[in-house]
Amino acid sequence: MMRSSFKTTLAILSASLAALPLLAQPAQAQAAKKIRIGFVTTLSGPNAAYGQGMKNAFELALDHMGRKMGGIPVEAIYEDDEQKPEVGKQKTEKLLQRDKVDFLSGFIWSNVLLASYKPAIESKTYLISANAGPSQLAGEQCSPYFFAASWQNDQNHMAVGELLNQKGVKTLYMVAPNYAAGQDGVNGVKSLFKGQVVGQDMTKWPDQLDFSAEISKIRAAKPDAVYVFFPSRWGVQFYTQYSQAGLKKEIPLYSAFTVDAVTLKLQKDLALDTYLTMTWGTDLPYAANQKFVADYRKAYKDNPTFYAAQSYDAANLIASAVAATRGSLKDKDAVGRALKAAKFDSVRGPFRFGNNNFPIQNIYQQEVYKAADGEYDLRTVSTVLTAHQDPHAAKCKM
């Protein structure tokens, strides 16, 4: 009878052990059936070219993945923020509440991102900015649910400050728009520039397109150089008026985000012999970048902008997290760790995140040149800052 009881117990134990893999299956079966990504950018109005370029690059990245992340189909939902913070927030809330997206990305403008930040973070949805990187989110308002796949706003401008030092500039006049990115920009230059700022104007954003008053003040101040930050059509207008005033040959221009593949079509000679800084360029010699640039040009018959390059990186960063977690996105901590690891090939080459989830990366001097076919392009001249981390990371408690 004891033998029979022993056999019965052994059979029950064996059956229990055999069932263990079955009990483990529900955890593995939690992988998402589809990855849904909400992408907020500007797709209408005078700056639609930038948003369309970001969308193009994100789509190109998805094509390169076979429209799957970690073997799971991907759906990207694009929304137009109309370059208005209130609209951007509405579209973000729609993506979160109605579309139930797994990730958010996009966001050109800092004021739009700041308006959309709270609902995204409160929902514990990972937001990966493909452009805007305001200082608030890098410092005291940092969150484990926010990553910048671009830069912190100060970084490229800090490189301008260092480049000014390298060029021996002693006196500087500064002009930038009066909104979050403009304020970060001037503070970034000042943080590294060792000379004297002899004048500073913060212009009305986005309404002001006439800079004649500021240019007159520059002429009177007679600085060694001028720093300017005006993206898109504002940059075209400033460069046009500055040249028309005859100052381009007298006082050199240093800038960040003022010259790009879109504005160059209008700036042309106006941007020659000016000084620029950027974290990425079409000529960076990394395999991922060479493939991205070649395929973007083939698909869209145009040069990609840095906005596009960062969007391509954002897609690949998200894909790396999905693959690492095998699509089990409900484990938010695991997804966050996978994003933080940044296990993807960036078009920028060396790339890693700091404690505040903003990139530590190189920043380069670039220059405009006229190619043999008469077209204008940008090329990398030197590395201004190496493995650079933004100064706000010290205020982030993560």
pTM: 0.91
Q: Does residue 73 have a cis peptide bond before it, meaning omega lies within 30 degrees of 0?
A: no
Write down the residue that tokens 């990425």 correspond to.
Answer: 280
Say how far apart CA 219 and CA 211 lie, in whole Å: 12
pLDDT digits (tens, 9 = 90+) for 54-71: 999 999 999 999 999 999
Cα 260 vs. chain centroid, distance in angstroms?
Answer: 14
Tokens coding 241: 């008026």
For residues 324-336, average pLDDT: 97
> Residue 160's beta-bridge partner residues?
none
In Å, how far are 233, 350, 371, 378 from 362, measured between CA atoms? Answer: 27, 7, 26, 17
Confidence of residue 13 (pLDDT cuts 50, 70, 90): very low
Percent of the chain past pLDDT 90, that is, above it, reads 91
Summarised one tens digit per residue, pLDDT across range 262-316 is 999 999 999 999 999 999 999 999 999 999 999 999 999 999 999 999 999 999 9
At 161 the pLDDT is 98
Q: How many C-beta atoms surround the C-beta of residue 4 within 10 A?
A: 8
Q: What is the pLDDT of residues 334-389, one digit of tens each?
A: 999 999 999 999 999 999 999 999 999 999 999 999 988 899 999 999 999 999 99
Q: Which residue has the higher pLDDT, 12 or 209?
A: 209
CB 113 within 8 A of CB 107: yes
Out of 29-33, 247-251, 254-258, 348-352, which region has the weakest mean confidence (pLDDT)?
Answer: 29-33
Question: CA 198 to CA 194: how far, in whole Å?
Answer: 13
Q: Average pLDDT of 163-186?
A: 97
Domains identified in the chain and CATH numbers? 35-151+282-353 (3.40.50.2300), 154-278 (3.40.50.2300)
Q: Which are the contacts of 271, defined by CB distance < 8 A and separation ≥ 6?
A: 239, 259, 263, 264, 368, 376
- Cα of 181 vs its chain's centroid, Å: 13
Beta strands 171-177 and 196-203 are parallel
What confidence score (pLDDT) does residue 32 get?
86
pLDDT-derived band at 177 (thresholds 50, 70, 90) equals very high
The pLDDT score that the predictor gives to residue 159 is 98
Cα separation, 240 vs 248, in Å, equals: 10
What pLDDT is attached to residue 31? 81
The closest alpha carbon to 233, from 204, 208, 212, 252, belongs to 208
pLDDT of residue 66: 98
Asked whether the predicted pLDDT for residue 21 surpasses 70, the reply is no
Mean pLDDT across the chain? 93
Percent over 70 (pLDDT), the chain:
93
Q: Would you state the pLDDT for residue 27?
A: 41
Quick check: 93 pLDDT over 90?
yes
Higher-confidence residue of 10 and 332: namely 332
Q: Is the pLDDT of residue 9 over 70?
A: no
